[in-house]
Amino acid sequence: MAWCILGAAVLMLSLGVDGEGGGAGGGEGGGAGGGSYVAAVYEHHLIRNLQPKVPLSRQEALEHMNKNLDVYEEQAAAAAKQGAHIIVFPEDGIHGFNFSRESIAGYLETVPDPTAVQHRLSCMAKNNSLYLVANMPGREDCDAQTPPCPPDGRYQFNTNVVFSANGTLVARYRKRNLYFESQFDTPADPQLITFDTPFAGRFGLFTCFDILFYNPAVELVEKLGVRQLIFPTAWMNTLPLLDAVQFHRSFSYATNTTLLSANLRVDAEAMTGSGIFSPGRHYITVRGRASQKLAGCW
Ligand X SMILES: *[C@@H]1O[C@H](CO)[C@@H](O)[C@H](O)[C@H]1NC(C)=O
Which residues contact ligand X by CB under 6 A?
2, 7-8, 10-11, 73, 97-98, 120, 123-124, 127, 164, 166, 168, 170, 180, 256, 269, 279, 295
How far apart are CB 256 and ligand X at their closest, in Å?
4
Nearer to ligand X, 245 or 271 (CB): 271
From 43, 74, 109, 208, the catalytic residue = 208
Q: Say if residues 283 and 258 touch (Cβ distance below 8 Å).
A: no
Whole-angstrom Cα distance, residue 297 to residue 166?
A: 32
Of 180 and 214, which has the nearer Cβ to ligand X? 180
Nearer to ligand X, 154 or 211 (CB): 211
91 is catalytic: yes
Which of the following is catalytic: 175, 181, 269, 297? 175
Tell me which amino acid residue 193 is: I
Tell me the closest approach of the beta carbon of residue 145 to ligand X, in angstroms.
Answer: 33
Sign of CA dihedral 86, 257, 287, 51: positive
Kindly state the smallest distance separating residue 286's Cβ from ligand X, in Å: 20
Taking the complex as a whole, the smallest distance from the CB of residue 149 to ligand X amounts, in Å, to 27
Please identify, using beta-carbon distances, which residue of 36 and 256 lies nearer to ligand X: 256
Concerning whether 175 is annotated as a catalytic residue, the answer is: yes
Specify whether the CB–CB gap between 7 and 68 falls below 8 A.
Answer: no
Q: DSSP string of 139-151? A: EEE--TTSTTS-T
In the bound state with ligand X, the residue whose beta carbon lies nearer, of 50 and 241, is 50
Q: Which residues contact 273 (CB under 8 A, 6 or more apart)?
A: 43, 235, 237, 243, 244, 245, 248, 263, 284, 286, 287, 288, 290
User: What distance, in Å, lies between the first and last C-alpha atoms of the chain?
Assistant: 31
CA proximity to 160, closest of 181, 132, 188? 132
Considering the complex, what minimum distance in angstroms separates the CB of residue 144 from ligand X? Answer: 28
Q: Which of 91, 109, 181, 269 is catalytic?
A: 91
Give the closest residue to 216 by CA, choosing from 173, 259, 256, 258. Answer: 173
Q: Which residues are known to be catalytic?
A: 91, 175, 208
